[in-house]
Structure 1
Amino acid sequence: MDSQVELLLRAGPFHDTLRAAIRSRGLTLDRVRSRLADRGWPVGLSTLSGWQHGHTRPASTGPVHALEEVLDLPRGALVDLIPRSDLDERSGALGELLDDIPGARDRSVDLLCQHDKVSVDASRRSSRIWSRIVLRARRDGVDRYVMRFFADPGADPLANPADQVEFEAGENCRLGEVRRHSRAPVIVAEFLFGQRLRAGESWVFERRIHNPCGPPSIVHACAVRHRVEQYLLQVRFDPSVRPVDCHAFSQADLYEPPRRIGALPLSTHHSVHLIGTPLITGVHGIAWRWPS
């Protein structure tokens, strides 16, 4: 594989990678268009030109997977680089926090697996969240993971729920800088590995979140910015509080209404779970109601 293409596949952007891959294969846009049509994906020349110059972006992954075949790229290599404006992090409270952390928006790792375990206490609060994350460095020198966290909105408009949340480093990391938004329940936290990874090297670490004073919880979700090979979410309820109507849901972006996927019966161990393999982008989680 061309060295420039190989480098761009690690971090993008999508349009530069596509243009370099087409050039590396020695294909004209018309030839690319013809081969896409042979695979059942009729895409116009103007559309392809817009994609490779960053003027427009693909609306679905089907033709992009076909492009990966045409350009002899690994499956998912281009799809993973498609810009996700729906999960844009350059505006709002989260954008303000990330602006203060150099490189926080860089796609420096691939998430191979994330396992979240949520404990809902007798006060109906998600008071403890444990996570194990397995990632792989996309470049040399990666030494941290920047976490985004949205606290449950509280009932008191004068209080910021983010002030009550505490973070704790588990195995193979230590807690770095933690930034809390002054007006919104949004937090950004660094988890430092203590060493620099080489490109392609994997890392496993654990983290814990404590929120003993938050409001009653009715949902836990994960916003996926880039492909995650496997996501597992478990929610365990205190035996003294039994929710009703537990169900899995997904959202195409942060702002669309959630789409109910299916009911999740409470097990004899007072827990429910969902698993996604893989997840491309969007919001995925579990929601529940409390009896009146």
Structure 2
Amino acid sequence: MRQVTEPPPPFATGLRAAIAGAGVTLEKLAAELRGRGTPVSLATLSYWCSGRSRPERARSLAALAELEDLLGLPAGGLRRLLPERRPRGWAAKREVEPITAAAPWHRVEQVRRLLDRHDLSRDGQLSRLSAHDRVEIGADRVKRVQHTRQVLRAEQDGIDRIVVVCWGDGPDSPAPVVVPVRNCSVGQVDIDDEAGLVAAELVFDRPLARRETIVVEHALHSATPPIAVSHQRISRLPVREYLIEVCFHPAALPHHCVQFSEVDGMERVRAVDLDSEYTAHALGLDLPPGKYGLRWSW
């Protein structure tokens, strides 16, 4: 008895035809997508071509738009071949990692251990009204300046510090040094050298009264920073406003730059252009706990 095989879905057929027409390999496409800041693994591309899986999450759909451009297709040429999204029940069964898992390289336990050494019982009584990260990239493509300004408001009397968690720019980078800049000093510091993580208290110049605001600034210094490809903030608590700026040296401009956010395990990506001062920026308002940042390729 001859076995009847179902034809591949329209999206897989269209994708294979477009790849064949463009005369490129999956390896080449995977490298190009990675270079544009929307990486898709070689295995995933293969699954898309066979119909075994399809792009559904925001991260994959952002990569699909870049894939259409790489293959010389009109915008939406592949996306319109996708069927309706799967039922919500499927998405609801996805395992969602805790917010601390959003730390670089997903070193969840190391982050938890560092934070467990600090008293965070009053952390929720300090509202994050505004945060501003400014990063300057040198001609050698490494971070020369990392500066953070926060506007905070005490929701009860006596709040006198905030704990920040910072990390090196590469998987083998040492933990950076937290340097106080304005209205604070560094208190307790705990370092995980293996993970390149540091948790540091920024102690205010004086305790705050209820509803009082304060502007706190600090910087990060790294002894041996690697070539930079991203900057991100992990917010454990909501932030009313977050501005990130990455300023590139005119002699070292990125090929592509995107802003991204990851909340509840779902990532969203959007292309970003540099302004006349060679700076990329992204602004977020009323942000829930999550991961926010910019990444780029050279």
Partner letter of residue 182 of structure 2? E
Alignment of structure 1 residues 1-16 onto 2, 5 Å? none
User: Structure 1 stretch 85-94 or stretch 191-200: which is displaced more?
Assistant: 85-94
Q: Look up the match of 1:93.
A: 110
Q: Deviations over 1:193-226 (max 9, x none)?
A: 1211122111111111122521111111112222
Structure 2: unaligned runs, 5 residues or longer: 1-95, 102-106
Partner letter of residue 225 of structure 2? G
Distance 1:276 1:282 in 2: 12
Q: Look up the match of 2:255.
A: 244
Identity %: 30
Partner letter of residue 279 of structure 1? L
Distance 2:151 2:218 in 1: 12
Q: Say which of 107, 114, 117 aligns to 2:124.
A: 107
TM-score, length-normalised on structure 2? 0.62
CA RMSD of aligned residues (A): 2.4
Deviation at 1:151, TM superposition (A): 1.8
Structure 1: unaligned runs, 5 residues or longer: 1-83, 155-159
Q: Secondary structure at the match of 1:97?
A: helix
Closer/same/farther in 2, CA of residues 143 and 105 from structure 1, 3 Å limit: closer
Q: Say which of 185, 198, 205 aligns to 1:194.
A: 205
Deviation at 1:85, TM superposition (A): 6.6
Deviation at 1:240, TM superposition (A): 1.3
Closer/same/farther in 2, CA of residues 271 and 104 from structure 1, 3 Å limit: farther
| 8 A contact 1:128–1:212 mirrored in 2 | no
Distance 1:237 1:107 in 2: 35
Q: Say which of 214, 220, 224 aligns to 1:203.
A: 214
Q: Say which of 253, 259, 282 aligns to 2:268.
A: 259
Partner letter of residue 259 of structure 1? R
| 8 A contact 1:162–1:180 mirrored in 2 | no
Distance 2:189 2:236 in 1: 20
Q: Secondary structure at the match of 1:242?
A: coil
Q: Look up the match of 1:16.
A: none
Partner letter of residue 173 of structure 1? C
Partner letter of residue 186 of structure 1? L
Q: Secondary structure at the match of 1:162?
A: coil
Partner letter of residue 293 of structure 2? G
Q: Say which of 140, 153, 156 aligns to 2:157.
A: 140
Q: Look up the match of 1:233.
A: 244
Q: Say which of 151, 167, 175 aligns to 2:178.
A: 167
Deviation at 1:91, TM superposition (A): 5.0
Count matched residues.
199
1:149 aligns with 2:160: no
Structure 1 stretches of 4+ moved >4 Å: 88-91
Partner letter of residue 86 of structure 1? P
Q: Look up the match of 2:40.
A: none
| 8 A contact 1:110–1:138 mirrored in 2 | yes
Deviation at 1:88, TM superposition (A): 4.2
Q: Say which of 226, 231, 242 aligns to 1:220.
A: 231
Distance 2:209 2:247 in 1: 37
Closer/same/farther in 2, CA of residues 228 and 139 from structure 1, 3 Å limit: same
Partner letter of residue 188 of structure 2? E
